[in-house]
Amino acid sequence: MWNDLAPVGRYESSGGYRRFAYTAAELECRAWFRAEAQRRDLTVETDGNGNLWAWWGDRTAGDAIVTGSHLDSVPDGGAFDGPLGVVSAFAAIDAMRAAGDVPRRPIGVAAFAEEEGGRFGIACLGSRLLTGAIDPATAAALTDAEGNRLDESMAEAGLDPAGLGMDRVRLSQIAAYIELHIEQGRAQIDMDAPVALGTAIWPHGRWRMEFRGRADHAGTTRLEDRADPMLTYANTVLAARKKARLAGAVATVGRVFCTPNGTNAIPSRVTGWLDARSESQEALDQVVAEVETATRQRAERDGTEVTISRESFSAEVAFDESLRDRLAGVLGPVPLLATGAGHDAGILASAVPTAMLFVRNPTGISHSPAESAEIPDCLSGVEALTEVLRELAC
């Protein structure tokens, strides 16, 4: 099943994936999901928020244990971020069936829409909509880089955007959500463990920054006559790095648009996005406030204008302790891990007991074509997930 998914949305030039919500590559991933579910006689549905579900067992037999992750990717993402959780979910069901397990409650496999926010800008959009963390009108009006709206893009993909919004009934039918995910840093290498249990997700957010100046000629405009938004932007990138370092946080500017983007023209506008995260909410607030101050001071000096607005935010999440203890009881000695990466599990944690399993990443590299995982570690992940599903559902 992995081999069927592996080529979808993969770019030969970089080896990375571009599976953006409701684009052709992502629709192919959805078709793959449906085929894998049907092959196993699972009942497949797409909810009103574009999330995919596949059900094993009688839906009326009790509240479900749901596992899964996402199939979309960041630009030039790796193969494992997201798909490993979905593939492992199907593989765990296979293992349970092979062992003759008969669950006494339904087991669901979920693939949440637009987890990376790679197209419409807000991470975990499908799970945010499901849990009511974003209102449907705001979500419907989100646009991608070409100005396509989310609701129109869903409609083009054959989905009805009228169904967007919190789904209380669905949430009330879920007893627990377990997300297995490739670890996205180096933590497990040091722990020497193929599988770890998640404890928490750091608070993190995205800020959109508009720098406006005056377009002009690169050869004839004296330096002192310029209002160059690129200068203000560049200073903001350096400030973000410095303030984060001093506060014990991380800050990244990984996405930028320059208008008109001509080699021999001073730009009129630069749009950049700040991604900032920290273990401590206080440190995160401090970094963002200091970056804003540094940017405003610099803009004054450069004769430019700046607008900074928070586009999305996820407060710190602590996963359900009693669920985690129960999982630890099944898995035996297993290291505990907090992470600076966002996940649908972090959003769902506001509505249902939630836990995460991490699979060791031998290099720690993620959100990159170089992301990797060892097959034995992936198999350990499936084994752990199988044990967990058996414990919770049988």
Report the 3 state secondary structure along 268-304: CEEEEEEEEECCCHHHHHHHHHHHHHHHHHHHHHHCC
Within positions 295 to 354, which residues make up the interface with Mn ion, using CB under 5 A?
A: 342
Nearer to ligand GLV, 213 or 342 (CB): 342
Tokens of 3: 């081999």
| Tokens coding 232 | 């203000």
Query: CB 102 → ligand GLV: shortest distance, Å?
Result: 35
Q: State yes or no: residue 114 binds ligand GLV (CB under 6 A).
A: no
> Does 116 appear as a known binding residue?
yes
Q: How far apart are CA 68 and CA 61, in angstroms?
A: 20
Is 116 a residue that touches ligand GLV (CB under 6 A)? yes
Q: Was 277 annotated as part of a binding site?
A: yes
Nearer to ligand GLV, 80 or 233 (CB): 80
Q: Is 85 in the site for ligand GLV (CB under 6 A)?
A: no
Nearer to ligand GLV, 79 or 341 (CB): 341
Please tell me whether 204 is known to bind a ligand: no
Dmax over CA atoms of the chain, in Å, equals: 78
Q: Is 101 annotated as a binding residue?
A: no
| 342 touches ligand GLV by CB under 6 A | yes
Among 107, 123, 239, 240, binds ligand GLV (CB under 6 A): 123
Q: Could you check whether the bond before residue 136 is cis, i.e. omega within 30 degrees of 0?
A: no
CA 173 – CA 162 distance, rounded (Å): 22
Complex with Mn ion: residue 201 or 270, whichever CB lies closer: 201
Query: What element of type H or E holds 181?
Result: strand 174-182
Q: Is the Cβ of residue 201 or residue 393 nearer to ligand GLV in the bound state?
A: 201
Residues sharing a CB contact under 8 Å with residue 293, sequence separation 6 or more, in sequence order: none
Ramachandran area for residue 121 (φ above 0: left; ψ -120 to 50: alpha; else beta): left
Pairwise CA distance, residues 71 & 3, whole Å? 14
Tokens found for residue 38? 């049907």
Nearest distance in Å: CB 204, ligand GLV = 7
Cα of 175 vs its chain's centroid, Å: 23
Q: Which is nearer to Mn ion, 266 or 357 (CB)?
A: 357
Check binding of 345 to ligand GLV (CB under 6 A). no
Least separation, in Å, of the C-beta of 49 and ligand GLV?
18
- Sequence-distant (6+) residues with CB within 8 A of 164 are 48, 49, 129, 136, 139, 140, 151, 154
In whole angstroms, give the CA distance from residue 29 to residue 239: 39
Quick one: what does residue 82 bind among ligand GLV, Mn ion, none, with the CB cut-off 5 to 8 Å set by partner type?
Mn ion
The least distance separating ligand GLV from the CB of residue 80, rounded to whole angstroms, comes to 12
Which of 20-28, 82-90, 125-133, 205-213 is the region at the interface with Mn ion (rule: CB under 5 A)? 82-90
- Other C-beta atoms closer than 10 Å to the C-beta of 223 total 7
β 269-277/43-46 pair status: unpaired
Residue whose Cβ sits closest to ligand GLV: 342
DSSP calls for 107-156: EEEEEETTSS-TTTS-TTHHHHHHHTSS-HHHHHT-B-TT--BHHHHHHH
* φ and ψ of 335, to 5 deg: -70, 155
Instruction: Candidates 134, 251, 341, 393: give the one binding ligand GLV (CB under 6 A).
Output: 341
Query: Binding site annotation covers 264?
Result: yes
217 known member of a binding site:
no
DSSP three-state, residue 9: coil
Q: Among the candidate windows 74-82, 293-301, 331-339, 354-362, which touches Mn ion by CB under 5 A?
A: 74-82
Among 81, 302, 371, 377, binds Mn ion (CB under 5 A): 81
Q: Cβ 115 to ligand GLV, closest distance in Å?
A: 7
Binding interface with Mn ion (CB under 5 A): 81-82, 342
Binding interface with ligand GLV (CB under 6 A): 116, 123, 341-342
Which residues are known binding-site members for Zn(2+)? Answer: 70, 81, 116, 181, 367
